[in-house]
Chains A and B, each alone.
Chain A
Amino acid sequence: MNPGRIRVLIEKDWAELRKERAMIATTLGVTLLLVVVFLAVAIYVPRIGDAGVPDRAGQLLLLRQLVLLLLMVPEFATMAIATYSVIGEKRARSLEPLLATPITTAELLAAKFLSAAIPGIALTWLAFGVSALAVWGLTSADVARLALSGDVLLLVFVIAPLVALLGAGLGVIASSRASDPRSAQQIGVLVIVPLVGLLILQLEGLLSLTPDAILAGAAVLAAGVLLLLRIGVALFRRETILTRWR
């Protein structure tokens, strides 16, 4: 794989993405709104007694769920970009000249994975930054310390990027096989399902996200991303795309 060619394609995709100002504003706005509403509920709803003393245990329980919400954040942006990535090239008829360059299918798909995943990851980290500031400023020091502990940081900085890449991979593969972004989105959104499952399991107390469990999960996700790239290359039918796309 030639990293230079991957970088060129990522920069091209982002240059096109920057022209989608309405989409960027909507995604950013909705994400931050979700985070702010969740934080408000988590910080201000749990109260004890008539005086309304903050219930630290309740706050902590809700704030821990916020992290799982943050894991879903990149999917909003990533899916929108990934599911249109190859279909967009097909619609613009730009895939044929692109494939006539020395770029390989693996490089093309790796670029599409990354160009879709990285904005989602950036959005997650932005949402996390806002959340961390709010938690430090609006809760007690011990709640903030426990809500932003090492395992939370692992989830945000290791698992979230891998989840974003996995979502991007599914979205890009769906985009290379589908002829319509909506059907690609329906396939790509499947990556949300396991995250919702994790949220429910944790709420029910059936799952504890310890650092060891998170790192093991990260290894599985990383392997999944690489496997997805290989599957994507195997499923990418350049001849079918060139000769059947109308």
Chain B
Amino acid sequence: MIRVRNLTRRFDGVTAVQDLSFDVAPGEILGLLGPNGAGKTTTLRMLAALISPTAGEATVCGHRLGEDDPGVRRSIGLLTETPGLYDRLSARKNLEVYARLHGVADPAGRAGHYLELLDLGGRREEPVGTFSRGMRQKLALARALLHEPRVLLLDEPTAGLDPRIARLVRDWIEELRQGGRTILLSTHNLEEAERLCDRVALLRTRLVALDRPAALRGLFSGGRTIVRLAQPDGGIRFAAALRALPFVTEVEAQGDALVVSVDQPEEDTPALVRALVEAGAEVIEVSPERRTLEEAYLQLMTEGPS
């Protein structure tokens, strides 16, 4: 649905995005994750045909950037970083203006449908300037959907929202994915990326890593296995038994648990458990070490992928 190859954008000698390549499949949510100035908004703006790439190419729903920009704009719905609504106009009028600009057949009906869907029907005639931040964000999201685009570009959709509204917006994004939309989402929020995104692209001007959130976490697990024992001092008591094993590279005792580094976790874990049981340990649980996406993110941003 979205195909990006070697996309680069420079502003007056400063590179905002360099050599970015990725694909987004139909119905997929791809998260763009990165610190301020990583190039997330610039990437979304290029894919919305708002600014031109300095180099590289991209297609959105088969429309090529720079060759068929009107086609690109018809195919996408853009949620901008700030809602950019007309404060003096009513919620209904705001949506109707955009529905008509997109050539929607029944602008009033479509605007009314989304206002009801977002629980804003009761305030449809009120000026948007009187709305809370959450209501404005919902309205901006509705505006991006009015023409039923197949691709949604969402720039920080929950930034600055209170947790309750942020959750509502996330639930709605999830529903949109279930409705078959393809979504490219920029966010600072790691929990949001982990919860919503099928894959996450970590950006720091360049693409640092691109994978499923679980796989990104796994990049830094280093094959460590955590063994919990019934004996409260089991960590110290049985560490020596494991250090004797040839495939164990490191053992760390933590109270009733052992954190063990092995060469190949899937092959070595049964032998590891057997050795512990033979040494008299009572094993309660064996699990791979799980790292949060936040830990993986921070490590990737400082060190790059291993």
Question: Interface of A with B (CB < 8 Å)?
Answer: 4-5, 8-9, 11-12, 15-16, 19, 92-104, 238-239, 242-243
Interface membership of chain B positions 1-25, coded 1 if the CB is closer than 8 angstroms to chain A and 0 otherwise: 0000000000100000000000000
Contact partners of B80 in chain A: CB under 8 A: 93, 96-97, 100
Contact partners of A243 in chain B: CB under 8 A: 11, 51
User: Dominant SS at the A interface?
Assistant: helix
Q: What are 21 inter-chain pairs, A to B, with CB distance below 8 A? A: A4-B103, A11-B97, A12-B86, A15-B93, A16-B88, A16-B89, A19-B88, A92-B84, A92-B87, A97-B98, A97-B140, A98-B84, A99-B50, A100-B49, A101-B73, A101-B98, A101-B102, A102-B73, A102-B102, A238-B50, A242-B45
**Which residue of A has the minimal Cβ distance to B153?**
A100
- Supposing A8-B97, A16-B89, A101-B73 touch, asked if A96 and B102 sit within 8 A by C-beta, the answer is no
CA distance A92 to B136 in the complex (A): 13
CA distance A219 to B144 in the complex (A): 43
Number of interface residues of B (CB under 8 A): 31
CA distance A8 to B98 in the complex (A): 9
CA distance A9 to B102 in the complex (A): 12
Contact in complex: A100, B87 (CB < 8 Å): no
- Supposing A12-B97, A239-B51 touch, asked if A100 and B78 sit within 8 A by C-beta, the answer is yes
Asked if B100 is an interface residue, CB under 8 A from chain A, the answer is yes
- Supposing A4-B100, A93-B82, A242-B45 touch, asked if A100 and B88 sit within 8 A by C-beta, the answer is no
CA distance A243 to B74 in the complex (A): 22
Asked if B244 is an interface residue, CB under 8 A from chain A, the answer is no
CA distance A97 to B98 in the complex (A): 9
Asked if B150 is an interface residue, CB under 8 A from chain A, the answer is no
Question: Interface of B with A (CB < 8 Å)?
Answer: 11, 45, 48-52, 70, 73-74, 76, 78, 80, 82-89, 93, 97-98, 100-103, 140, 143-144
With beta carbons under 8 angstroms apart, the residue of B85, B93, B103, B140 that contacts A102 is B103
7 pairs of A and B residues whose beta carbons are closest in the complex: A93-B84, A94-B84, A100-B78, A101-B101, A8-B100, A19-B88, A93-B82
**Which residue of B has the minimal Cβ distance to A8?**
B100
Contact partners of A9 in chain B: CB under 8 A: 97, 101
Contact in complex: A92, B86 (CB < 8 Å): yes
**Which residue of A has the minimal Cβ distance to B74?**
A102
**Which residue of A has the minimal Cβ distance to B87?**
A92
Contact partners of B74 in chain A: CB under 8 A: 102
Find the residue from B45, B49, B74, B86 having the highest chain A CB count within 10 A. Answer: B86
Contact partners of A103 in chain B: CB under 8 A: 101
CA distance A199 to B43 in the complex (A): 55
Contact in complex: A102, B51 (CB < 8 Å): no
Contact partners of A99 in chain B: CB under 8 A: 50
- Supposing A92-B87, A242-B50 touch, asked if A97 and B70 sit within 8 A by C-beta, the answer is no
Apart from A95-B84, A239-B50, what are 17 other A-B pairs with CB-CB below 8 Å? A4-B100, A16-B89, A19-B88, A93-B80, A93-B84, A96-B45, A96-B78, A97-B98, A100-B48, A100-B50, A101-B73, A102-B74, A102-B101, A103-B101, A239-B51, A239-B52, A243-B11
